[in-house]
Structure 1
Amino acid sequence: MKRSQVLIVVVAIALVAVLFFLPKVVVNNEDQDNLAKTEESSGLPEGHSEDDGHDHGAGEDAVKAHRVATPEQLMALTTARSKYNKATDEQTRSLVAVELAEAYSNAARYDSAGYYYEIAANARGGEKSFKRAGDAYYEAFTFAATQERASELGAKARNMYEQVLKNNPSDNDAKTNVAMTYIATSNPMQGITMLREVIVADPNNQKALFNLGILSIQSNQYDKAVGHFEKLVSVNPKHVEGTFYLAVSLAETGETERAKELFNKVKGMSNDPALNTSVDEYLARLQ
């Protein structure tokens, strides 16, 4: 689950340091020109051509993304973007779009990855192509720095996943992601209803259980959160995040001793220093 999209975008849990589960990169379209200049100075071509409809760049957070990209990743971006810009026919362009999308994804620039995966999906069709585009947009959605950006990227992800669900209505992974994008809209109950539908169809669906638990915490329904996370860790006893949030929920419902036991268990399940710091802070509060 850690490599799945952990949806904390809409979850403001002041008493938990949830950010240690989020990637360290945010890519924002609104700051595109800055990164275009940065790339140019580092040997990358300037932003995408005007006729592709997609500005590329970044603000402070995306500049961080640029800094953590390896030389190999930057070279892959340079090569793929050059090939894409030189492609003259639609078939070649759609093939290279996948290569360029993969390069952006490897460099943690997920909105750009989604954009080029979408180009390829629209050109070539196919459930897998649209799923790939939806996953990239969803990844970017989970990192959105503002509600407006989350809404925009969530809508893009939904559009891609809708093509997937037309052909495969039983794709619960796509359905769960769609549900979570609705949480960031004016109609969050639609998302919650979809998550419940996933649980009815697949009672052991880990992603749906996790997200329902997080949403229960968000709404201060810690007793319900306990139920969701207990089910989750019974399905997957090695689920680190599920164990952590079960401990949080138990602490908030007054089950201090069991919460302590689980917090200590989490420390033995992960070497993540940020996670262990959060656990230690919680344990200190429970003394």
Structure 2
Amino acid sequence: MHRPQWIAAAITLLLIAVTYWGCPVRPPEMEEGFNRAPSAATGVQSLIREAHTQLTPAQRATLSTLEDRLASQEEDSARVEVLQQLASEWYKAGQPGISGAFAAQIAELENTEDAWAIAATTFSLCLRQEGVAQKTRQYCTDQAEQAYQAAISLNPTNAEHRINLAVTYTDNPPPENPMKGILMLRELEQQYPEEPKVYITLAQLAIKTNQLDRAAERLRKADDLQPGNPDVVCSLAKVYENLGRAGEADIFARKCSDLLQ
């Protein structure tokens, strides 16, 4: 090979290396979660070992049969079918963290926005269980974060995934940044001023902290943007009742009753 050819080859290799190592494959907003999260495989195996002691013999038998079936499947479509059954069985057993891990395996195979959103939502349910150990909560938080970020990367315009990710941070605030979820929601309020779910979520958080006037304000904004949403109307009736604003509480209580009929 002549000298000019060697130079051209070297430049080509350098460009390939810079492209592969220098350009992030994931959007920048995804990097934090992927770098911070522990190994999903290690985490779920630990959860499975602990959960097995709480299973009934029938549940153990069903899960064992499904695991054997999964091991024998080679086609992705067949694996997805068994993974769906495993996710369902673990969810029915009261283990959304483990269920989410199998949902995440489905998402890895399908790589669709909906599949990642389902996995993320399942992990998020783990954070709302009472009596969950902190290491399990952290595992579910990290995995929900990764799954929501994957859904966001596939559809950056869908505000719902960003809202749900912010809620994940409010359910289990990062120790180094306990206000992260709240700050994200406030940013989303500026970015998506016409998105009712942003105001509904902020209202729910205000109710949790007994900031009822603020909750009513946010719910009224959501009601203006999306009239007839029973979640908003019925919540307003309760908030106004707790504020002692009987007239407004009665108006929204009647609207709530009409919507639920």
Q: Report TM bin, short chain.
A: 0.5 to 0.7
Q: Which residue of 2 aligns with 1:131?
A: 117
Whichever residue aligns with residue 39 of structure 1, its letter is Q
Q: How do 1:1-287 residues align onto structure 2 when only pairs under 5 Å count?
A: 30-40=50-60, 44-45=61-62, 47-48=63-64, 81=67, 83-87=69-73, 89=74, 91=76, 94-100=79-85, 103-104=88-89, 107=92, 110-143=96-129, 145-146=131-132, 148=134, 149-183=136-170, 184-185=172-173, 186=175, 187-270=177-260
Structure 1 residue 228: Cα displacement = 0.7
Over 3 Å counting, the alpha-carbon distance change for 1:147 and 1:127 in structure 2 is same
Following TM superposition, by how much is the alpha carbon of 1:152 offset from its aligned partner in structure 2, in angstroms?
3.3
Amino acid at match of 2:210: N
Unpaired runs of 5+ residues, structure 1, are 1-27, 49-77, 272-287
Q: Indicate how the Cα distance of structure 1 residues 248 and 188 shifts in structure 2: closer, same or farther if over 3 A, else same.
A: farther
SS in 2 for 1:34: coil
**Normalised by the size of structure 1, how large is the TM-score?**
0.60
Name the counterpart of 1:13: none
The structure richer in helix per residue is 2
SS at match of 2:55: helix
Contact 2:70 2:83 in 1 (8 A): no
Residue 101 to residue 193, structure 1, CA distance change in 2 (3 Å) = farther
Letter in 2 for 1:162: Q
Structure 2, unpaired ranges of 5+: 1-46
In the TM superposition, what is the alpha-carbon distance from 1:94 to its structure 2 partner? 4.0
How far is the alpha carbon of 1:181 from its aligned partner?
0.8
Q: By how many angstroms is 1:142 displaced?
A: 3.7
Tell me: CA distance 1:270–1:108, structure 2 relative to 1, closer, same or farther (3 Å): farther
Equivalent AA in structure 1 for residue 158 of structure 2: D
Checking the alignment, whether the CA contact within 8 Å between 1:117 and 1:132 is kept in structure 2 is yes
Q: Using a 3 Å threshold, how does the CA distance of structure 1 residues 126 and 236 change in structure 2: closer, same or farther?
A: closer
Count matched residues: 209
What is the match of residue 53 of structure 1?
none
Deviation, 1:130, is: 2.4
Larger Rg: 2
Q: C-alpha displacement at 1:179, in angstroms?
A: 0.3
Deviations 1:82-119 (A, max 9, x none): 532432x3746643454325644885854343211212
Structure with larger RCO (C-alpha < 8 A, sep 6+): 1
Question: Structure 2: which amino acid aligns with 1:116?
Answer: F
Distance 2:82 2:148 in 1: 19
User: Distance in 1 between the 2:198 and 2:178 partners?
Assistant: 15
- When residues 152 and 264 of structure 1 are mapped into structure 2, their CA distance, relative to the original with a 3 A threshold, is farther
**1:136 maps to amino acid:** T
Q: Counterpart of 1:100 in structure 2: which amino acid?
A: Q
Q: Distance in 2 between matches of 1:100 and 1:182?
A: 29
- For 1:158, give the aligned amino acid: E
Tell me whether 141-150 or 161-170 shows the greater mean CA deviation: 141-150
